[in-house]
Structure 1
């Protein structure tokens, strides 16, 4: 092979190598695990892409060479995969997840009392009182109201041609205050659920020091768009929302 041909061949190899490294490709993946393999989070941390597995543990995600893909689920150990040229060429990833085992410090045999009333009742042999449902008597079986909701109901109901209680509570501002309190409690409940469900995934993509995470989630829950979004149960949109809020929170912390 002449020198000119060698140079041309080397140039073509470099071009092909460069194309492989720079191109984004849709990769198919298959997750295997001991039990549930649906709705497992698949995150391209480098390209900031996100998807979930279907009922068969299959997924598709866009990736390039050297991207880092995180596979995460509550019941399994998180697994990071570096995308190699071989993966790009084959357009396939096989993922085998290991169970996340929680070790107990000690095992206690028998019933113990903890000081927590509800826990101790459940651990004891005490029997619950009969209720209307046990006796076949019609009654309310819906969601029980919180203390704040019961107070709001009492503040906004009354009898007579012109109910005075709701009117007085509206004038005094008590009704408005109770509604605001209920909204805050709902936001706090949604915040706790999102924090439990999304923290690991979010901070694996964009880390935040542990001491600031509680403050961050309160920052998130103060956004009027948070509560409606939390009710949609859409992991895609919630993750995007949390990432946007995280950038805003970091900017605010840096300014202070």
Structure 2
């Protein structure tokens, strides 16, 4: 009897210790909409990951940790880690599509059914565009003003001097290169690209990042500009996944806090 009691106590203690430890959980999100790149945040342990194209993810957690799932399409959902999840080390989560209802908007004229009245109230014919006549048109990203000016300024290349032989020497690239205007426009375009990338990062990751990383609200804008000024900012963030950008921000936050500490000392 005493031996059985010891075994029971040992089992209960072992179980309690086991549940108090963090384990890696393999999870999967299912939804009627896209399940890739959903943010998965352990708000208790302050860790972050994202789902892959199948909705799968891995994250470390323990009992009673709170996982937050968020995306533009699905909204936000919080899940408290249970003992069953820890025991199986797996979880399957259904996310519902977030529907944003808009007020009814009437576009154009309202037709009454009276032919004469409707003809009088009808809009004029819309202008014909390249889609109507089957002419291919440009569908890419519209260049900014600085990008257009840089394109017009041209870029000087030594091969251009061969134009002296044929009388077709392009003057604009040469003059703009000598005056420094081309260099100035390149720097302006580079700055615009960095600002646009920074704006997107702040919009997509700011709330989630500061949800698991502490920084005074008044310092957050300054921190983002600190990141944008880093030489490897575009290399580490342009075209990268949210998880890779998140890791970049974590590295820069450590350096930013060290700089704050040094300036305060």
Flag whether TM exceeds 0.5 (same fold).
Answer: yes
Mark the runs of 5 or more structure 1 residues left unpaired by the alignment.
113-123
3-state SS in 2 of match to 1:37: coil
Q: Residues 133-164 of structure 1, C-alpha deviation per residue, up to 9 Å, x if partnerless?
A: 76566887655432212222332358852544
CA distance in structure 1 between the partners assigned to 2:75 and 2:134 by the alignment: 47
Q: Does the 8 Å CA contact 2:37/2:242 hold for their aligned counterparts? A: no
The 3 A distance-change label for structure 1 pair 7 and 141 is closer
The 3 A distance-change label for structure 1 pair 173 and 99 is same
Counterpart in the other structure of 1:10: 9
Counterpart in the other structure of 1:248: 255
Counterpart in the other structure of 1:179: 186
Counterpart in the other structure of 1:88: 86
Aligned-residue CA RMSD in angstroms?
3.5
Counterpart in the other structure of 1:109: 106
CA distance in structure 2 between the partners assigned to 1:211 and 1:250 by the alignment: 14
Shift of 1:182: 0.5
Counterpart in the other structure of 1:167: 174
Counterpart in the other structure of 1:116: none
3-state SS in 2 of match to 1:79: strand
CA distance in structure 2 between the partners assigned to 1:126 and 1:192 by the alignment: 39
- Count of aligned residue pairs for this structure pair: 240
Q: Would you say 1:188 and 2:195 are equivalent positions?
A: yes
Q: Does the 8 Å CA contact 1:47/1:67 hold for their aligned counterparts? A: no
Mark the runs of 5 or more structure 2 residues left unpaired by the alignment.
110-122
CA distance in structure 1 between the partners assigned to 2:92 and 2:206 by the alignment: 25
TM-score (norm 1): 0.74
TM-score (norm 2): 0.72
